[in-house]
Chain A
Amino acid sequence: MIETEPTLQAAIQLPPIKTLERLAVSERGFVFDPTSGDHFTLNETGLVVIRALQQNKTLEDVIESLRQEYNVEPQVLERDLLEFSGMINSLLDN
C-alpha cells in the first residue's frame, strides 16, 4: 500500500477576505492597514500572493499560479505558504 504524504494545505489559515480586501497594497509591496494604521512590506512572492487573494482567488489557484511562475514543487510552495500565513496573521488584526 502506498502512503500519501499528509498535505500542508489544510493547515494554511489565511486572513479573512474582508481583512485582505481593506489593505492598501502598493506596487512595490508596501502594505497599509487603514483600520489599524499598521504597515509592513512584502517581498515579490508575498505581493503576488496577497494580490491574488485580494482578487478572491482560492488557495489552490494561488499555489498553481506560483508553481507555474517559479517552477517549484507544490509541497515546497505549501510549506512556504504555511509560513507566510502565520506571518501575515500576526501582522493583521482580523
Chain B
Amino acid sequence: MATITATVAITGMNARADNPGPGLAIARCLKEAPEFKGRIIGLGYDALDPGLYLDEYCDASYLLPYPSSGDEAFLDAFGRIHQLEKIDIFIPCLDAELPGIVRLTPLLDEWGIRHFLPTQEQLQLRSKDRLMELAEYAGIECPEVKTLSNPAFFSQCEEKGWTYPLVVKGLFYGAKIVKNAEQASSAFHQLAAQWGLPILVQRFATGTEYNLTALGDGHGNMLGAVMMKKMALTDKGKAWSGVTIFDQALHDASAALIRAINWRGPLEVEVVRDPHGHYQLIEINPRFPAWIYLSAGVGRNLPLTLIQLICGETPEDFPPPKPGVMFIRHAMENIVPLDKFEAMIIDSGQHRQQDEGEL
C-alpha cells in the first residue's frame, strides 16, 4: 500500500465527553496508520474544542466561523487556512456544516482540495424529516416521524394516537425523550433556539441500540461496515462504551439504504432492535461517528480507506468482521500552555512548521 503524504483538514474537534464530535477520532485513525505520513489540520468552532490542543493528532489547529455565519465567512477563514497549510484533502464531519460545504465543493475543486462527499440530493434524501420515505424504499422499519413548526401539537397529540414517551429532535442535532406535553414543549423551544426550525417528533422505539458505520462508494456499494452495540451511554445518549457485533440482517438493511441513494462518503446508521428482533431505523448520519476509532480496532480503518479512495487508490480487501471487540472511553486532562489558548482566541489558530515554528 502506497504511503500517503497529504495534508488533511478535519473538522469536528469538539471531543467533549458527553457528546463528542468525530474529528479527533478520525485524526487518530490516520495518525496511527503506518500508511499515513501526512499532516493533520484540526478545525474547530470553539476555542475550547479539546482536539485542537492534542499535538499528537493535529499538526496544526484552527477555528472556523460557525456555519450559521454563512458561506462568505467560512470561505474567508478556510481560504486563509488553505494558504498557510496547503490543504490537499478536506474531511468535514459535522452534520450542520455539511449542507454548506457540499454547496461549496466546486470552489474546493477549484482550489485543488479533494474530498469524498455526498451530493445535496443524497444529503436531503437521508435527512431526518425524510427518513420514513427512505426506510420504506430500502425495506426497513422506521418509527413514524412528523415535522413540526410549533409546539401546539404536543398538547393534543395523544388524541391523535401519538402517545408519550416521544422523541423530539432538532433537524441536525439533539434528541430528547419526553414523557408529557410540558417536557415536549420545553424540548421544542430548546432545540429550536439551538438548531432552528423545523423540529421533528418521532415515535419512541423500545429496544437495544445498535449502530453501523461504513463508506458508500457513490455507486451503490457499501464498504467496510463495522457494527456496534452500545454498552454504556452518556447523559446525551452517546456511546461511552460499545462492542462490535456482526448481524447479517443489519448489514443487509444498511447496504440497501446505501444502494437506495447511491450514497457517497462516510455514514452512520442508527437503529434500535425491538423486542420482536426487528430493526427500527432511527437516523442516518452523513459522516463518520465519534466511535470511528473502533473501525481501526477491528482492522477496518475506515478514515484511512476514505483517504485512499480520495487519492484514487483501490483499498485492500477488508478483513472479516470481528465481533467482540470493545471500546471504553475515558476522560483525561490535557495540559495546555496559555499561549496556545491565546493563539486560538486571538488568531483563530496556530500554524506550526514541522520544526514547531509559529504564525
Q: Does A93 contact B (CB under 8 A)?
A: yes
B residues in contact (CB < 8 Å) with A = 208, 210, 228-229, 231, 243-247, 273, 277, 323-324
Q: Does A58 contact B (CB under 8 A)?
A: no
Question: What is the CB-to-nearest-CB distance from A60 to chain B, in angstroms, rounded to a whole number?
Answer: 30
Residues 30-46 of A contacting B (Cβ, < 8 Å): 32, 34-38
Q: Which 4 A-B pairs rank lowest in CB-CB distance, beginning with the nearest?
A: A37-B229, A34-B323, A37-B245, A35-B247
Contact B277 A37 (CB under 8 A): no
Contact B277 A34 (CB under 8 A): no
| A-B CB contact pairs (8 Å), 21 listed | A24-B324, A32-B243, A32-B324, A34-B245, A34-B246, A35-B245, A35-B246, A35-B247, A35-B323, A36-B208, A36-B229, A36-B245, A36-B247, A37-B208, A37-B210, A37-B228, A37-B229, A37-B243, A37-B245, A37-B323, A93-B277
Residue of A nearest to B277 (CB): A93
With a cutoff of 8 Å between Cβ atoms, the chain B residues found around residue A24 in the complex are: 323-324
With a cutoff of 8 Å between Cβ atoms, the chain A residues found around residue B324 in the complex are: 24, 32, 34
Residue of A nearest to B245 (CB): A37
A residues in contact (CB < 8 Å) with B = 24, 32, 34-38, 93
Given A32-B324, A34-B245, A93-B277, 5 extra CB contacts under 8 A: A34-B324, A36-B273, A37-B231, A37-B323, A93-B273
With a cutoff of 8 Å between Cβ atoms, the chain A residues found around residue B247 in the complex are: 35-36
Question: What is the CB-to-nearest-CB distance from A30 to chain B, in angstroms, rounded to a whole number?
Answer: 10
With a cutoff of 8 Å between Cβ atoms, the chain B residues found around residue A36 in the complex are: 208, 229, 245, 247, 273
Residue of A nearest to B228 (CB): A37
Residue of B nearest to A37 (CB): B229
Could you tell me the distance between the alpha carbons of A24 and B322 in the complex, rounded to whole angstroms? 12
Could you tell me the distance between the alpha carbons of A34 and B210 in the complex, rounded to whole angstroms? 13
With a cutoff of 8 Å between Cβ atoms, the chain B residues found around residue A37 in the complex are: 208, 210, 228-229, 231, 243-245, 323
Residue of A nearest to B275 (CB): A93
Could you tell me the distance between the alpha carbons of A34 and B227 in the complex, rounded to whole angstroms? 10
Could you tell me the distance between the alpha carbons of A93 and B210 in the complex, rounded to whole angstroms? 14
Residue of A nearest to B321 (CB): A34
Question: What is the CB-to-nearest-CB distance from B168 to chain A, in angstroms, rounded to a whole number?
Answer: 28
With a cutoff of 8 Å between Cβ atoms, the chain B residues found around residue A35 in the complex are: 245-247, 323
Residue of B nearest to A93 (CB): B277
With a cutoff of 8 Å between Cβ atoms, the chain B residues found around residue A93 in the complex are: 273, 277
Question: What is the CB-to-nearest-CB distance from B250 to chain A, in angstroms, rounded to a whole number?
Answer: 9
Question: What is the CB-to-nearest-CB distance from B244 to chain A, in angstroms, rounded to a whole number?
Answer: 8
Question: What is the CB-to-nearest-CB distance from A25 to chain B, in angstroms, rounded to a whole number?
Answer: 12
Question: What is the CB-to-nearest-CB distance from A83 to chain B, in angstroms, rounded to a whole number?
Answer: 23
Question: What is the CB-to-nearest-CB distance from B87 to chain A, in angstroms, rounded to a whole number?
Answer: 38
Question: What is the CB-to-nearest-CB distance from A32 to chain B, in angstroms, rounded to a whole number?
Answer: 5
Could you tell me the distance between the alpha carbons of A38 and B242 in the complex, rounded to whole angstroms? 11
Output the residue of A35, A38, A93 with the most chain B CB within 10 A.
Answer: A35
Could you tell me the distance between the alpha carbons of A24 and B247 in the complex, rounded to whole angstroms? 15
Output the residue of A24, A34, A37 with the most chain B CB within 10 A.
Answer: A37
Residue of A nearest to B249 (CB): A35
Could you tell me the distance between the alpha carbons of A32 and B229 in the complex, rounded to whole angstroms? 12
Question: What is the CB-to-nearest-CB distance from A49 to chain B, in angstroms, rounded to a whole number?
Answer: 22
Residue of A nearest to B231 (CB): A37
Could you tell me the distance between the alpha carbons of A24 and B323 in the complex, rounded to whole angstroms? 10
